[in-house]
Amino acid sequence: MEKDSKGYPGESSIPREDEEPVVVPVEDSLDLHTFRPSEVKDLLDDYLEAAVEKGLSEVRIIHGKGTGVLRRTVLSLLAKHPLVLTVRQAGEASGGWGATVATLKSEAEN
């Protein structure tokens, strides 16, 4: 599978079940544009766990503006996720309504 400079799959790549999973670097933001909607729940779960393990207290999930379907999915998942304390829309400089910021529990709070 072709990957860009950050290790994300290229737009022309079509993942197959027999391929290795894509390794997403744990940073303070996660861009969902390159993932299929069916992958979002598991991806978000794994990302939030890794972010807490890394000691991040806040993360930004970039879902884009589009029709709002992915945004609603992300908000729903974050609202009931046990590692999330609060959820808010990102500021204009950070994506506005195309991104959501989640405050995370620390490892000690889990």
Burial class (CB in 10 A: 0-12, 13-18, 19+), 87: middle
Q: What does the pLDDT look like over 72-96, one tens digit per residue?
A: 999 999 999 999 999 999 999 999 9
Q: Which string of DSSP letters, residue by residue, matches 81-92?
A: -TTEEEEEEPPG
- Report residue 109's pLDDT band, with 50, 70 and 90 as the boundaries: confident
- Dihedral sign computed on CA atoms, order 94, 97, 34, 10: negative
Q: Give the model's pLDDT for residue 108.
A: 74
Mean pLDDT across the stretch 38-47? 93
pTM: 0.76
Mean pLDDT across the stretch 14-42? 79
29-109, which class in CATH? alpha beta
